[in-house]
Structure 1
Amino acid sequence: MTKLLLPTLLYLLLAGGLSAQDTATGTVYADTNGNGTRDAGEKGIAAVSVTNGERVVRTDAAGRYTLPIGDDHIVSVIKPAGYAVPTDANNLPRFYYIHKPAGSPSSDFAGVAATGPLPDAIDFGLVPREEPEQFTALIFGDPQPYTLEEVDFFARGVVAEVEGIENIPFGLSLGDLVGNDLDLFNPYIQAVKRVGIPWYNVMGNHDLNFDAPTDQLADETYEAHFGPANYAFNYGKVHFIVLDNILYPDPRDSSGYWGGYREDQLDFVENDLRFVPEDHLVVLAHHIPLDEFGGETYRDEDRARLFDILADHPHTLSLSAHTHTQRQDYFGAEEGWRGDSVHHEYNVGTTSGDWYSGRLDDRGIPVSTMRDGTPKGYAFLHFDGNQYRTEYRVAGKPATYQMELFHPRVIARGRNTQAGIYANFFVGREGDEVVYRVDDGAWQAMEYVEEQDPSYEASVYEWDTAEELLPGRRGSNAVPSTHLWRGNIPAKLAAGEHTIEVRATDQFGQVHTGKSAYRVEAVREAGR
């Protein structure tokens, strides 16, 4: 922790909202020609939500709004369906106005420059645009580069694969945009800019101002680059709510961080959802998973209040990252969920994988498979009205690569073996149907197991048994996978090669297959 450059009292005054309140006014209007200026004839848009980060109001018939504002507030428009917000030269959406008359307090990394007096009007121009109810969003988990070299790994290993992608209206990174060095925000922005679509961002625990004494001031550098850490927008029949769910410093002991929300953040969610129709899908995007080790790293009462707020919305989904694994979590009545059906959280695999570890590929980029055996990659979310389905893409592999098979390559004919056939089905969950067959035999069910992925373990032990240094660096130790299945490997077959086929059906009814082969060899008896 470094020495503060401004008195702590000033920090606390700003964070506590003790400065004089003022009133922000403005108009949300249809910028029909998209020039960023309200021209004659461009009318205000009624019933659009605008927020100061806690209060949410609706524009009147002429598109006008009024909001209370202090000396550390961000006013943002909640984009309605059928309109686009402007983007800057880096494809970052500009839907907000930061009001910090004196700027951010001094810190290790620069925050917001002084914005000066409150303008007479804070207007938001929205460009009318057709938005189909069927659309797809692109999702990145934890880019998290700690160096410029790792920014390059991210740019060449992931971004280049989706550069210039078409028919995707926007993308979203789920936090840990960088790894503690906030000077890397700009290189990260330049890398993601190459995708070529509007890009939203979530704040992660490695995106903080670690010298901030209060949680309200831990996102100053983030705000300077990306705007509010808590905001919302609509697309089609989907309402997205982006939240900073890192409490820093940890309110229990002022050391480290804790997953959860401040009261004003939950007030924002509650006020925002008052204007969201119940038949719309509500998607929460935050960094730390909602069940991350219970109260040890997540404040249970915050999750409980969030679930209470969501109770009247039957269609919901949460997105998170943070774990550098991939899993599907579900919340029912036992976990405090009050809806008629369970709440699904998709904990998305990361673009950095296992923190840019592992062997280098032929381009010099770390393979970086995650500790549960999920290869690094990114996700697509496909929406149809208030319904959705997920799709995970492994970087550098075809879209059909959805599982990794592990088994012996050769076994002795007729000898029983405790070795087996393992299928790591990357988007799988307990209860999914996963079956296998050898050659053209009958399909058999595989057993769901919570074990460490042997394929990943083998890759890690390669480092431990090598006689010489390997290029790249050793990956993390394996952790139990939540999407691993096992079947027996037949040994009483004719000598020769035999084909293994695995078929897995995901929670959305999509069928995925994987194939491999092994060899059966006759064993010569001793002396013959």
Structure 2
Amino acid sequence: MKKLLLIISVITLSIHVDARQQATGFVYHDANQNGKKERSEKGIPGVAVSNGKEVVLTDNQGKYVLPVDDDNIIFVIKPSSYTAPLDENNLPRYFYIHKPNGSPDLKYKGVEPTGRLPKSVDFALYPQQEENNFTAIVFGDPQPYTEKELELFTKGVVDKATKEKKASFGISLGDLVGDDLDLHPKYAQVMRNMGLPWYNVMGNHDMNYDAEVDEHADEAFEATFGPANYAFNYANAHFIVLDDILYPDPRDGQGYWGGFREDQLDFVENNLKFVDKDKLVVLAFHIPLWHVNENTFRNSDRQRLFDLLKDYPNVLAMSAHTHLQRQNFYSGSDGWDGAQPFHEYNAGTTSGDWYSGKLNAEGVPVSTMRDGTPKGYALLRVEGSKYTIDYQTIGQPLQHQIRLYNPKVVANNRGTSAGIFANFYMGHQDSKVEYRIDNGEWKPMTWVEAADPDYTAGLVEWDLVEELMPGRRPSNAVPSTHLWRAAIPTNLSLGKHHIEVRATDMFGRVFTEKSDYRIAEPVAY
């Protein structure tokens, strides 16, 4: 009986071993850029290659060996000073999809059967110059639900962002489209106009909702963009892109939950073994790690991610999803054990408040977000292992970082509950925001967690019109995390007075904004 069990065990083990084939190939310098490895073209040693979980380095000949099963994407982790080939839409092609039987039969088509694993899965790279100081463009949630909204995205954002001439590449932080996954290729065609290598994160509105397991929720995404979990280097920065949506929700099979599968965190762990501690590590995912309770993000997954990164002194996370703008800082009470607080930039979105609001002169909705942040995109500026972030409001100069709201006229020497409000788009509770009147003494403003009154005033206008306006009413306001208030002086001389506000961002840069108001004699009852 024991002998029989041993034979069965050996057979079972053999079947298990056979199920994981060995993928092998070369990462090489494609000197003639024809996408095919010639005998004269040399392999590149020390380049990381992954199957989405394990990570290995190429040997002295540029060769790698990785295990694969019947649903794997093999990809090279682009090293610094090299670039991967780009397709016709400027999407980096650094991967090979291995799905012999293709994707499951889902509403939105995934990958066609790829057949048997090639004898050699090779990856071409080209040398390129990469300066330690560079800029990346960051888009949050384009999220067009229709071709019409895709046109609004193109006209309202992409056509403007093409003027960013000094950027090295771009990245969109998920919700590339709004549930209609047939728009993925059309979105990619629009992004071609940016003229840059463009990386993409998967969002909850990019998922195959009829998938029965989380591993199949990204099938349509993979067909257009490749792996939903990957990494790449640029200069002294290392970027890790992750799908952080668990679907269906493992708790009840309904909806989704923020978090990671074990294999995804295994990939992060195995990948970081080859990332020097002096690098800037930038994580990009869709759902923010920030949490009120565990209903938004699985605590254990955030904790393991924090544990893997704690020895890296220079770390940044970027997320989107909320259609707000927020700076999140994690410390010991959140499970972060690094030397400095862990910074997550929860980016404003290119769709703003879902293409709502008044139409501008071009016929594009202004789409101000519910916290009063204007529609726009971010510029991640890296200098060695340090970074700064700028927020570019659509239709405004880059220096525009504050919007002021104040009454236009107040009664002389009469108390008022009206005030001066400053929405400092990139601010957070500890930011320094000050004001002065008529070039007088600078005084601190008070941070308040409240609805932006300028945004609220816009809603009132929509609600009181007697004829419908073009477009769609914006969403109701939510408390802003970057709003400050000060009392407005009424005990000054009659006439016009000048308000000036200055705000210092987390990188030590100072921004100013100005406004006016008038003091008049009180009107008798």
Q: Under TM normalisation by the shorter chain, which class is it?
A: over 0.9
Q: CA-to-partner distance for each residue in 1:270-295, whole Å, 9 max, x for gaps?
A: 00000000111111100000014330
| Residue 230 of structure 1, CA deviation | 0.1
Equivalent residues of 1:32, 1:128 under 8 A apart: no
Paired position in structure 2 for 1:92: 91
Name the SS of the counterpart of 1:296 in structure 2: coil
The residue correspondences of 1:72-221 to structure 2 (distance < 5 A) are 72-163=71-162, 165-221=164-220
| Residue 52 of structure 1, CA deviation | 0.2
The amino acid that maps onto 1:352 is S
Q: For residues 411 and 267 of structure 2, what CA distance do their matches in structure 1 show?
A: 64
Equivalent residues of 1:55, 1:271 under 8 A apart: yes
Q: For residues 525 and 232 of structure 1, what CA distance do their matches in structure 2 show?
A: 69
Paired position in structure 2 for 1:296: 295
The amino acid that maps onto 1:188 is Y
Q: For residues 434 and 69 of structure 1, what CA distance do their matches in structure 2 show?
A: 54
| Residue 521 of structure 1, CA deviation | 1.3
Paired position in structure 2 for 1:444: 443
Per the alignment, do residues 46 and 471 of structure 1 end up closer, same or farther by CA in structure 2, a change over 3 Å counting?
A: same
- Higher mean alpha-carbon deviation, 488-497 vs 478-487, is at 488-497
Name the SS of the counterpart of 2:194 in structure 1: coil
| Residue 492 of structure 1, CA deviation | 1.4
Q: CA-to-partner distance for each residue in 1:91-141, whole Å, 9 max, x for gaps?
A: 000000000011111110010011111001011111011111110000000
| Residue 413 of structure 1, CA deviation | 1.5
| Residue 33 of structure 1, CA deviation | 3.6
Q: For residues 118 and 242 of structure 1, what CA distance do their matches in structure 2 show?
A: 26
Q: For residues 199 and 234 of structure 1, what CA distance do their matches in structure 2 show?
A: 14
Paired position in structure 1 for 2:375: 376
Q: For residues 237 and 141 of structure 1, what CA distance do their matches in structure 2 show?
A: 24
The amino acid that maps onto 1:402 is Q
Paired position in structure 1 for 2:318: 319
The amino acid that maps onto 1:250 is D
Equivalent residues of 1:47, 1:58 under 8 A apart: yes
Name the SS of the counterpart of 1:209 in structure 2: coil
Q: For residues 360 and 308 of structure 2, what CA distance do their matches in structure 1 show?
A: 47
Equivalent residues of 1:33, 1:127 under 8 A apart: no
Equivalent residues of 1:382, 1:388 under 8 A apart: yes
| Residue 40 of structure 1, CA deviation | 4.3
- Higher mean alpha-carbon deviation, 514-523 vs 80-89, is at 514-523
Name the SS of the counterpart of 2:189 in structure 1: helix
| Residue 167 of structure 1, CA deviation | 2.2
Q: For residues 479 and 164 of structure 1, what CA distance do their matches in structure 2 show?
A: 32
| Residue 341 of structure 1, CA deviation | 1.1
| Residue 397 of structure 1, CA deviation | 1.2
Name the SS of the counterpart of 2:479 in structure 1: coil
The amino acid that maps onto 1:46 is P
Paired position in structure 1 for 2:63: 64
1:54 has 2:60 as partner: no
1:331 has 2:302 as partner: no
Q: For residues 307 and 440 of structure 1, what CA distance do their matches in structure 2 show?
A: 46
- Higher mean alpha-carbon deviation, 40-49 vs 377-386, is at 40-49
Q: For residues 476 and 491 of structure 2, what CA distance do their matches in structure 1 show?
A: 35
| Residue 193 of structure 1, CA deviation | 1.1
Q: What's the Cα RMSD here?
A: 1.2
- Length, aligned pairs only: 510
Q: For residues 517 and 341 of structure 2, what CA distance do their matches in structure 1 show?
A: 41
Q: CA-to-partner distance for each residue in 1:431-463, whole Å, 9 max, x for gaps?
A: 111111111111111001111111111111111
Q: CA-to-partner distance for each residue in 1:36-91, whole Å, 9 max, x for gaps?
A: 23234321111100000000000000100000011100000000001011100000
> Could you tell me the TM-score, scaled by structure 1's length?
0.95
| Residue 364 of structure 1, CA deviation | 1.1
Equivalent residues of 1:308, 1:338 under 8 A apart: yes
Q: For residues 240 and 524 of structure 1, what CA distance do their matches in structure 2 show?
A: 62
Q: For residues 413 and 191 of structure 1, what CA distance do their matches in structure 2 show?
A: 55
Per the alignment, do residues 223 and 492 of structure 1 end up closer, same or farther by CA in structure 2, a change over 3 Å counting?
A: same
Paired position in structure 2 for 1:347: 346
Q: Structure 1 vs Structure 2: percent identity of aligned residues?
A: 57
> Could you tell me the TM-score, scaled by structure 2's length?
0.96
- Higher mean alpha-carbon deviation, 467-476 vs 84-93, is at 467-476
Paired position in structure 1 for 2:12: none
Name the SS of the counterpart of 2:56 in structure 1: strand
Q: For residues 432 and 290 of structure 1, what CA distance do their matches in structure 2 show?
A: 21
Equivalent residues of 1:283, 1:316 under 8 A apart: yes
Per the alignment, do residues 292 and 184 of structure 1 end up closer, same or farther by CA in structure 2, a change over 3 Å counting?
A: farther
Name the SS of the counterpart of 1:186 in structure 2: helix
Q: CA-to-partner distance for each residue in 1:135-185, whole Å, 9 max, x for gaps?
A: 000000000001111101100000000225322111000000000010111
| Residue 415 of structure 1, CA deviation | 1.1
The amino acid that maps onto 1:465 is L
Name the SS of the counterpart of 1:482 in structure 2: strand
Q: CA-to-partner distance for each residue in 1:359-391, whole Å, 9 max, x for gaps?
A: 111111101100000001000000011100110
Equivalent residues of 1:146, 1:180 under 8 A apart: yes
Q: CA-to-partner distance for each residue in 1:399-427, whole Å, 9 max, x for gaps?
A: 11111100101111121111000000000
The amino acid that maps onto 1:270 is E
Unaligned runs of 5+ in 1: 1-16
Name the SS of the counterpart of 1:483 in structure 2: strand
